[in-house]
Every structure is written in C-alpha cells, then in structure tokens.
Amino acid sequence: MVHDPLERHLLRARDLIDTRYGDHLDVPTLAARAGVSPAHFARRFRATFGEAPHQYLLTRRLERAQFLLRETDRTVAEICLDVGLTSVGSFTTTFKRVVGMTPTAYRELARTPLPAIPMCVLREMTRPK
C-alpha cells in the first residue's frame, strides 16, 4: 500500500479550484478536500505550489474570464458571475490590475479563435502570472 504524500493530497484541492472556480470555495472546503487541517491548509498550499490558495483561485477565475471574453458573447457582468465573482466593479479593477487592460479592451484585442488545445493545457498556458 502506497501512501499519498502531502503534495498529492494538496493537488486534489488544487484540482477542485480548477474545476469549481465558479462556486464559493472557502478554506474549510478546500482543506477538507485535501484532508488537511484548515489551520495549516493555506500555508502548506503556498509552500507546495508557490502561491496562496485564494491567489490561485483568483488567477484561475481571471484565466476563465479571459477565455469567455474572447470565445463567447456573454456580457462582462455575466462573465463576472460565471467565474464565481460577485462584484462587477472589483472584477473590472482586479482584471485591469492583473491583465493590464479592462475586460472590454481585452475582448476587443483578442478576437482570434483559439485552436483545439485541451483545457488543462490552455489553463496552464494562459493563466495570468
């Protein structure tokens, strides 16, 4: 019987962020997925993956927002809710801070359709740094 190392447990929480970014994901939920105590979860996640869980969740949401802006006709307000954020004002501010332009400006810029790249690869390639 092989035991999962801590990183393998934390990977389950990271996978949960990558798939359930549209939901309200709090530390107790993520910690439970990883089987780690909520008190230690954020620190261990950061030590393993190099960024805090809330930061990882935010960049996942922004990456999805970028995808939806370029590939769909949904409004900025709809996309904000799609990716699990509730305030359009703070979504726009955060998007501009991280991506360097507003959602509307990004949509105008990124008009080229994407080739058929598997979702997990696209996620890694296009996640804001």
Partner 1 sequence: MFTTISHMFLWVRDQQEAKDFYVGKLGFEVGTDVTLEEYGGMRWLTVVAPGGLQIALSSVDLSVVHDPDGPAFLREMLAKGLGAGGILRVEDCRAAYDELRGRGVEFSEEPTEHFYGVDAAFRDPSGNQWRVTQPAPVPAGA
Among the listed residues 23, 26, 51, 71, the single contact to partner 1 using CB under 8 A: 71
- d(Cα 122, Cα 96) in Å, to the nearest integer? 21
Exposure letters 62-90 (e unless 16+ CB within 10 A, then b):
bbbbbbbbbeeeeebeebbebbbbeebee
Is 4 a residue that touches partner 1 (CB under 8 A)?
yes
Binding mask 96-115 for partner 1 (x = CB under 8 A): ------------------x-
Residue 52 CB, shortest distance to partner 1, in Å, is: 16
Examine residue 51 and tell whether it contacts partner 1 (CB under 8 A). no
Residue 70 CA: distances (Å) to CA of 10, 60, 91 = 31, 16, 17
Please say which residue, 2 or 39, places its beta carbon nearer to partner 1: 2
**Smallest separation, CB 18 to partner 1 (Å):** 7
- Name the residue with tokens 């726009």: 92
* Structure token digits, residue 33: 């997925």
Give the residues lining the site for partner 1 (CB under 8 A): 2, 4-8, 10-12, 14-15, 18-19, 48-49, 71, 114, 116, 118-120
